[in-house]
Amino acid sequence: MDAGSWAYGAAAPGLKAAAASVFLTLGLAGSVAAAETTLLALGDSLTHGYGLAEEDGFVPQLEAWLQARGHDVEVINAGVSGDTTRGGLSRLEWSLSPEVDAVIVELGGNDLLRGIDPASSKANLDAILTALCEKGLPALLTGLPAPRNYGEDWQQAFDAMYPDLAETHGALLYPNFLAGIGGLEDREAGRALMQGDGIHPNAEGVKKVVEGIGPKVEELIERVRAQD
């Protein structure tokens, strides 16, 4: 399947709306009682909740899952549909509001779909993680498995960048964001958990994604508490 037919990103108007949503979310964060731990989810449409009612998206479902397990936590949605690693880097600074304690970095899917040189993607993610380290913010880096569309060398370079960067920066690693529903490499098994585009999880799919990544996010919260 070609990149254009299963891109995570929405059209430009959708991206603008998503960005506006992020600004609004960050702006309202200070108007409510502060949670013990505040996580920033920096990502693309998989984080943003493309095609879903707001309450069914990744961030609200993750926050609810964590709270149900006794965590006093707020998760800020800094996902923008269509964003690449370069886009995530460009908006990192303004996304890091003062209350943020740790960051989930879910980027690279759109780089993959556009065939961007993995070296460029790695450099952008490296810059993001470097900035988080400098600010003393623990990070959870999530990846996606690359298909073979661009050849074996490209695939190996893309797949290797996530564990390499996590090791370099001491970040937590969740290798496949979609592992809870079988991941990109097993579409048939997870078809009932996907939206009509075959790319984005539906509400039940997001639930499975959250159940998969949730324990790793709990590890991220523990790192925050260990710093206190």
200 belongs to the catalytic site: yes
CA distances from 91 to 35, 80, 183 (A): 23, 10, 27
Give the active site residue among 72, 117, 186, 197.
197
Give the active site residue among 45, 81, 95, 121.
45
For residue 39, give the H/E element and its range: strand 37-43
Exposed e or buried b per residue across 152-184, where buried means at least 16 C-beta atoms within 10 angstroms of its C-beta:
eebbebbbebbeebbeebebbbbebbbbbbbbb
Give the active site residue among 48, 81, 95, 200.
200
End-to-end CA, the chain:
47
Q: Are 110 and 78 in contact (CB under 8 A)?
A: no
197 belongs to the catalytic site: yes
Catalytic residues: 45, 197, 200
